[in-house]
Every structure is written in structure tokens, then in C-alpha cells.
């Protein structure tokens, strides 16, 4: 019987080491967060492995309005998207993208506006006054809403997507989430910055209106599930312990 009790105690101790192991991005009590007042929104710069949609219109894009209204007679004026099927071009690890007729052109590290100008210049040898529309189709934000297994990858279709909109697209803050402790993790030229947002009060609307950028991480801190975690972990142990106790009682009774 003593061995059974020792086994149970060891099992309970080992179980305590596995509670709430699903929590991510935990910070030390004295962790210094970046100041929200210094957060800035900069133009996105194209990076390797970005997927780009590129539309080319000659003659300064004079037929662009007609094409956007669905008049198929003018489809020929969109040189790079004549089929109306979205075609994407991947930026290679070298920073180059290969485009029809002009071949490879380096655009990594450029803003969308700078890249449009460079591509227009490259196509100007083949077309009169080319007009380029360029978009990154795989810009996304990772949202962890405060509950294990509920993370979402949000594609940024709107360049002015806010923190609140990103959370809404992910289903909002979950039951375990702490709305007063939301971390916005962002990569900047100076390194990775971590901002602490409090959306638990109406004053938090200012933080909720922050514009997210590609590759941001929004992490809603979670309340530890100590009681239910222990219950989930020890239920199988209690079952084994009960079976062993019953077996022990039967053996003793047969003596």
C-alpha cells in the first residue's frame, strides 16, 4: 500500500509540471515593453517569398476605368492579366522577381510605390507610358485570441486594418483571454518590439485603432487554468490509483 501512495504522489508531482504548457510568449515580471506613443506605421517593404499581383496598363492606364467596370472589350489593355485570373509572381530569396518580357528585376526592400515605378521603367522599353498596379497578396497577421488551438492567420486585404479588426476577424478575445494584457509583437529595422495594449476599457479604443502591419503578432494573454488543468491531468491517475487500491483490497481479503 505504501508503494501505491508513493506512486500516486510522484504522479501528481509530475503532472503539476505539465499544467498550462500551452501558454506562449510569456514575459518576465520586470519585462520592459516598448512605448506605444513611439509606435509608427511605415510603408511595407517587399521581402523575399512575397507573392505579388501585378497589372500592367499601357498609355498611362487610360483604359483602367473601363476595365474595372467589367467592359471586356478593353481587357487587352491589361497586359499582365488578360485572362482576368489572378496571377501571382513570387519574389525569389535573391530579391528578384521574374516578369514576362523583361525577365528578372530586383524589388526586395522597396515599398510598393518604389517597386511600381521600377517595373514601369522596365516596361517602358516595350510599352508606351506603362501604368502598374502592384499588390502583395500574402501579407498576413497572426492572432492568438487567448485560448489554445484557436490561433488564426489573417490576410491583410485592407491596408488600414486595425488591431480591433484583426481580433474581430479571429473571433474576438476568447473566454480565457485577458483583454487588458494584449501583446502586439512587431519586427522593425531596430529589432523586435513588443507593445502592451489594454482593451478592457473604453480608453483602450485608442490602442485598438492602431494599424497592424504585415507579419505582426497579436497575442492575447491567457488566464491559467490551474483547477481544470489539474483535474484533467489527475483523472487518469486517480482511476489507476483506485484500480490498484481495489486490487490490493482483494488480495488482502483473500489472505
Residues 6+ apart with CB under 8 A from 36: 195, 196, 197, 207, 210
**CATH placement of domain 139-222:** 3.10.560.10
- How many residues would you count in the chain? 255
Average confidence (pLDDT) over 104-126: 94
Same fold, 51-136 and 139-222: no
Q: What pLDDT score does 25 carry?
A: 83
Q: How confident is the model at residue 227 (pLDDT cuts 50, 70, 90)?
A: very low
Half-sphere exposure (Cβ direction) of 212: Cα atoms closer than 13 Å:
29
Residue 148 half-sphere exposure toward CB, CA atoms < 13 A: 10
Strand partners for 182: 197, 220
Please, which pLDDT band fits residue 73 given cuts at 50, 70 and 90?
A: very low
Could you tell me which residue, 162 or 253, shows the higher pLDDT?
162
| Alpha carbon distance 234, 241 (integer Å) | 10
Q: pTM of this prediction?
A: 0.70
Residues 6 or more apart from 8 whose CB is under 8 A from it? Answer: 237, 241
Average pLDDT of the residues in 132-148: 91
- Give the three-state DSSP class for 249: helix
Q: Which is higher by pLDDT, 19 or 220?
A: 220
Mean pLDDT value across residues 9-13: 50
Phi, psi of 74 (to 5 degrees): -105, 10
Structural fold of domain 51-136 = wza like fold (3.30.1950)
Q: What is the DSSP string of 147-200?
A: STT--EEEE--STT-BHHHHHHHTTSS-TTEEEEEEEEEEEETTEEEEEEE--S
pLDDT at residue number 75? 52
> What ranges do the domains of the chain cover?
51-136, 139-222
Taking residues 126-133, what's their average pLDDT? Answer: 90
**Cell numbers of 82, please?**
488578360
pLDDT of residue 118: 96
Q: How far lies 162's CA from each of 60, 100, 141, 216, in Å?
A: 33, 36, 11, 11
According to the per-residue pLDDT averaged within each range, which of 4-8, 125-129, 153-157, 181-185 is highest? Answer: 181-185
Asked if 37 and 197 touch (Cβ cutoff 8 Å), the reply is no
Bridge partners of residue 111, in order along the sequence: 45
> In angstroms, rounded to a whole number, what is the distance separating the alpha carbons of residues 97 and 115?
11
pLDDT in tens, 149-189: 789 999 988 888 999 999 999 999 988 899 999 999 998 87
More confident residue, 148 or 168: 168
What is the tens place of the pLDDT at every residue in 85-104? 568 899 999 999 999 999 99
The larger pLDDT score, comparing residue 71 to residue 171, is at 171
pLDDT for 122: 94
- Residue 172 pLDDT: 92
d(CA 43, CA 150): 30
Q: What is the mean pLDDT of residues 53-69?
A: 73
Amino acid at each position: 500500500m505504501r508503494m501505491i501512495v508513493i506512486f500516486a504522489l510522484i504522479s501528481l508531482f509530475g503532472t503539476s509540471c505539465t499544467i498550462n504548457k500551452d501558454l506562449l510568449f510569456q514575459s518576465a515580471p520586470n519585462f520592459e515593453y516598448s512605448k506605444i506613443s513611439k509606435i509608427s506605421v511605415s510603408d511595407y517593404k517587399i521581402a523575399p517569398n512575397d507573392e505579388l499581383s501585378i497589372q500592367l496598363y499601357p498609355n498611362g492606364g487610360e483604359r483602367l476605368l473601363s476595365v474595372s467596370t467589367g467592359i471586356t472589350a478593353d481587357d487587352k489593355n491589361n497586359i499582365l492579366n488578360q485572362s482576368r485570373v489572378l496571377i501571382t509572381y513570387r519574389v525569389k530569396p535573391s530579391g528578384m522577381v521574374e516578369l514576362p518580357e523583361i525577365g528578372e528585376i530586383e524589388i526586395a526592400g522597396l515599398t510598393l510605390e518604389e517597386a511600381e515605378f521600377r517595373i514601369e521603367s522596365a516596361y517602358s522599353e516595350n510599352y508606351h507610358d506603362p501604368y502598374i498596379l502592384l499588390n502583395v497578396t500574402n501579407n498576413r497577421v497572426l492572432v492568438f485570441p487567448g485560448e489554445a488551438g484557436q490561433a488564426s492567420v489573417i490576410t491583410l486585404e485592407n491596408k488600414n486594418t486595425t488591431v480591433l479588426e484583426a481580433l474581430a476577424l479571429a473571433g474576438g478575445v476568447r473566454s480565457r483571454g485577458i483583454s487588458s494584457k494584449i501583446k502586439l509583437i512587431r519586427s522593425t529595422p531596430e529589432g523586435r518590439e513588443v507593445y502592451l495594449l489594454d482593451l478592457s476599457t473604453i480608453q483602450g479604443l485608442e490602442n485598438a485603432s492602431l494599424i497592424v502591419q504585415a507579419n505582426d503578432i497579436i497575442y492575447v494573454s491567457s488566464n491559467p487554468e490551474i483547477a481544470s488543468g489539474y483535474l484533467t491531468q489527475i483523472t487518469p491517475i486517480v482511476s489507476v490509483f483506485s484500480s490498484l487500491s481495489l486490487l490490493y483490497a482483494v488480495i488482502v481479503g483473500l489472505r
